[in-house]
Homo-oligomer: A and B are copies of this chain.
Amino acid sequence: MMPQLGLLPRRACAALLSQLLRRAACNHAVGYHSQIVEAVLTSQLKPYQKKPNFIKIPKGTRDLSPKQMVVREKILDMVISCFKRHGGKGLDTPAFELKEMLTEKYNEQSGLMYDLEDQGGELLSLRYDLTVPFARYLAMNKLKKMKRYQVGKVWRRESPSIVQGRYREFYQCDFDIAGQFDPMIPDAECLRIIYEILSGLQLGDFLIKVNDRRIIDGIFAVCGVPESKFRTICASMDKLDKISWKDVRHEMVAEKGLAPEVADRIGDYVQHHGGVSLVEHMLQDPRLSQNKQALEGLGSLKLLSEYLTLFAIMEKISFDLSLVRGLDYYTGVIYEAVLLQTPAQAGEDPLNVGSVAAGGRYDELVAIFDPNGHRVPCVGLSIGIERIFHIVEQRMKTSGKKVRTTETQVFVATPQRNFLRERLKLIAELWDAGIKAEMLYKNNPKLLPQLQYCEKRGIPLVVIIGEEEQKEGVIKLRSVATREEEAIKREHLVTEIQKRLSQS
């Protein structure tokens, strides 16, 4: 064993030996190894016992500061409010699933999954999205219909990019409609939800690109793409939003071995985007109209456009034949929303954040889980909350708008020494009345630091307890903004505070 150990980094070496020791089946083997192992483990494990001399968090993760939490809370409230407006039921699934539940659902992207260490129990992986857990939930509970939303963190071992707001740990906000229904109605509602959320967040102008997997497959078929190259040519097409058709075509031909004339034929189709007239035009296309898949896809998009018109959102929709989307489980309509940069925002860093929402129909995913293969068609959407959050944060920095990190309404202060007990008693009365109140954790604070505490945090009201007022049975109530003070009878204090807070 020892020579090969030199190939392994120290920690893997220690882990290996640990494993061997634990799993040694016979005493003799344990005895033989134990001295060597003991020595190696001791020397290998030393680094763990050192005090960390540099405090770090894992690559691609971040803490959210109180300021960021306030922003995130606002955005999430707005998103969940929309989900509830559309009748979504909440659901929560575990952060990790059995590895076998997640494996093979994402295909080439599963190399980016976080696995948990084999610690002698089940093999687990952190969930990669919220869609596969949803499909697992439906199959496990034998549900045929469900309209659910789920907001939670997911984890992917991608190359992080702080500039683009791309992390390894991030929130997703999903809304999915599972069930066999009349065509395109739930699909239309998903697009309406994306529209409502992006409009409501006031991020500026946006576009929702829409396509259909069957149209893509149909285009590939009529253009002569060999079936074995479907996926890899899709991957090239996925770059059309970042690089030109010329460069994508070059990649297809030079790197992926596609015949140049096939690539040209694809180019004739996928460079088009537009309204329903594009769909109608394609339905007349001599080659595409001979392809069953493409016809189905185009027919769906035509019906969809009627519903989107009734939903009054067609102005934001663009049927885009180049849209492919990475995940392999989509079977029908697919969509992706992008923000459009306006001249007014030119002063900001180029957004370049990719899509802010996406989704599509995935009719075969639940069936993979169900041992009897019972099919539950699904359509859904995912809001790219981190990217939206990134944009809103940038804008707040630029605007310089102040954000309160607490919601404290009243501060209990005193200029008086030895009045701690009075402050404690009074603040408890405020808390009893549901008033949000703070005080300094000082026995004898000076008045100025207390007032500065309020100004810094935007606390609107201060109650000031003083010896004289106390003798008269009154408390001073001061407005931090105006600095005006009023003497209020102690027994009326809570009522007066509540009145002022409700008026502001």
Contacts and interface: CB of A to CB of B under 8 A. Distances in A.
Interface of A: 1, 4, 6-9, 11-12, 15-16, 19-20, 23-25, 29, 47-59, 61-66, 68-70, 72-73, 84-101, 103-104, 114-119, 121-124, 126, 136-137, 139-140, 148, 153, 155, 157, 169, 177, 179, 181-182, 185-186, 188-189, 192, 196, 306-307, 310-312, 368-371, 405-408, 420-421, 424-425, 428, 431-432, 434-438, 441-443
A137 B29 CA distance: 45
Contacts of A84: 406-407, 436
B69 A91 contact: yes
Contact of A182 (B50, B57, B441): B441
A245 to B, nearest CB: 36
A48 B99 contact: yes
Nearest to A184: B441
Given A58-B96, A114-B116, A177-B441, A424 B307 contact: yes
A129 B435 CA distance: 30
A179 B95 CA distance: 33
A162 to B, nearest CB: 14
Nearest to A136: B55
20 contacts: A6-B25, A12-B118, A47-B100, A48-B104, A49-B103, A51-B371, A52-B100, A52-B369, A55-B369, A63-B137, A65-B91, A66-B89, A69-B91, A85-B431, A85-B436, A89-B406, A95-B153, A115-B117, A185-B441, A196-B431
A25 B48 contact: no
Nearest to A56: B98
Given A85-B436, A116-B115, A20 B8 contact: yes
Contacts of A93: 57, 63-64
Nearest to A52: B100
A407 to B, nearest CB: 5
